[in-house]
Structure 1
Amino acid sequence: MTHTHSASPLKISMLTAVAMLAFAANSLLCRMALIETDLQPASFTVIRLCSGAAMLLLLCSLRAKPVITGGSWRGAAALFLYAAGFSFAYTGMNTGTGALLLFGSVQLTMLSYSYYQQERFNRWQLAGFGLAVAGLVLLLLPSAASPALIPAILMIMAGMAWAAYTLLGKGTNAPLIMTTGNFWRSLPMLILLVWWLPGENWQHLDPTGVVYAIASGALASGAGYAVWYAVLPFLAASVAATIQLSVPVLAMLMGWLFLAESITGQMALAGAATLGGIALVIRYR
C-alpha cells in the first residue's frame, strides 16, 4: 500500500473503518477461540504471533522491503507481554469488557507518561482523566458482568505493555518494518508458552480455534496494522486518537452480535465514562 497525497477522503475513511474493525475483531476472535473451541490461551498466542509475523513479512516483501531487522528486543518483549496477557485475560471476561479494559489502560498509561514527561494538563484534561479512571473502576465493581480479578489484572497489564510498545515505536518513519521486526523478534519468547502447555494440547489443536487464531494474527493484527499505518499519515494526531475510541464500542457490538453477550447498563455507563473522559483529554490537548 503506497502513500499518495492524492488519496481521496472516502478511501481514507473506508480504510480507517477497516482498521478499527480489525482491531475490534482481535477481541472477538480471541473470545470465540476460547469459548467455542478447545484452544488454550497459550496456543492462541503462539499461533497469533507466528501468523502475524508471516503476514507482515509477506506485506513487506510485496513492497520490496523484505526485512526483519526493524524493531527492537524491548519492543518485542512489550508485544509478547501484551499478546500473552490479552489471551489469558479473555478466559475470564466478555468481548466488550476486555476491549474496554485494554483500551482504557493503554490510553491512561500513555496519558500518565505524557504527564510524567512534563506535559501539563488543564482542568478539562484533568477532569477527563479522572472520569476515564472512574469508568474503569465502575467496570470492575462486582456485578454479573464484571470480570474476575486475575483476568482483569492481566488485561490491564496487557494494556500497559501495549502502551509501552506504542511509546517505543513513536516517531519511527517506517512503522510497518518496525512492527515486522518486533513480531519476528517476539517468536523466540513463545518458548515460554510452549513450555507452559502440557504436551497433549499441541497434538490435538482444535482446527476451528486454529483458524480463529490465524485470522487474529494474519488479518486482524498483521493486515490491520498495515492498513492503519497506511492511513495514519493522512490523519491529524488528535483525529487518529479519537477514532480509536470506537474500538471498544465495536468490540461490545461484535460480542453482542456474534456471541450473544449482553451489554449491561453498568458496561454502557463505564464505557461512556472511560471513552468520554479520554475524548475530553484529547479534545483539549
Structure 2
Amino acid sequence: MSTRALKQNATGYLFISPFIIGFLAFTFIPIIASLYFSFTKYNMFGSPQWIGLENYEKMFTGDPRYWQSLKVTLIYVAAGVPLRLGFALMVAMILNTASKAVGLYRSLFYLPSLIGGSVAVAIMWRNIFGDEGIINLLLVFIGVPDVRWFGDPTAALWMLIFLSVWQFGSSMLIFLAGLKSIPVTYYEAASVDGANYFQKFTKITFPMLTPVILFNTIMQTIAAFMTFVPAFIISKGTGGPLDGTLLYSLYLFIQGFEFFNMGYASAMAWIMLIIVGILTAIIFYSSKFWVHYESEGGK
C-alpha cells in the first residue's frame, strides 16, 4: 500500500474516530457490562458478586411484580399501538386531501409528538384528570358523579394509553409521505370503474400503505416498550394504583435506581430485549401474508 493511500485511510479513520470512540464508550461497552452485571449481585457501591442465573430465576419464579409489569406493558402495547396508528392514519388521510395550509396543519399535528412524552405534558395530563381536575369539574357541572381516573388500576392504565395516542405525529408524517407516493392515476381509474370511497381505500390505499404500516408498527411497538416518563409522573414513581401503571421500564428503573438492584435491573433489560426481538421477528414473519409491494403486481 502506497504512502498516499495510507494517508487517505488515516484521514478517513480520523474523521470517523469520534463516532467510534462514542459508540465504544456509550453503547458497546455498557451493553457488554450490563450483560455481565445481569449474572451478578451488584448495587453500584461495591464489587459485583457472581451469582449465575439467580437474577433470571428470581424474575420468573419469585417476583410477582415482574409479571405484573410485563402484563401491564403488553396491554399498553396491544391497545396503544393500534390506536395510535389508526388515529395517525386518519389524520394523514385528512391532510392528504387538504390543499390549503397543509404545511401549517402538518406542523400543528406533529407538535404533540415533540412534547407529548415530556414531563410537563405528563404533569398536565395528571392535573386535567386528577380528582379536582377540569374533567371532573365538567362532569360535576353537568350532574355526573366525578371519577377517580388515577384511583382505579384499569382507568389509570387507559389514561396512559390515551396519552400515548396523543403522540401520533411522527407516524402521521410517515403515513402522509406514503399517501403522497400513491399515484393519482390509480384513484382516477377506480373512479372510472365506479368505485366508491370505501372500495378505493380497501383496494388501493390500504394495500399500497402496508409497507408503511409495517414500518410504523415495528417502530411504535419498540417505542411503547420503552415508555417511562408518563408512567413515572402519573403514578408518582410507584406504578400505582395497585401496580396498574407499572410499565416494564418503570419497574426496571425502580429496581435499578431505587432498590439499587443493578444486577437484577440488567437482567430485566436483557429479557426486554429478547421480548422485543421476538415480537419484531413475529411481525416481520407475518408481513409476508399482509404486506404488499408495488413490484409484486408485475409478477
TM-score when scaled to structure 1? Answer: 0.26
Task: From the CA coordinates, give the structure whose radius of gyration is larger.
Answer: 2
The two structures have a TM-score, normalised by structure 2, of 0.25
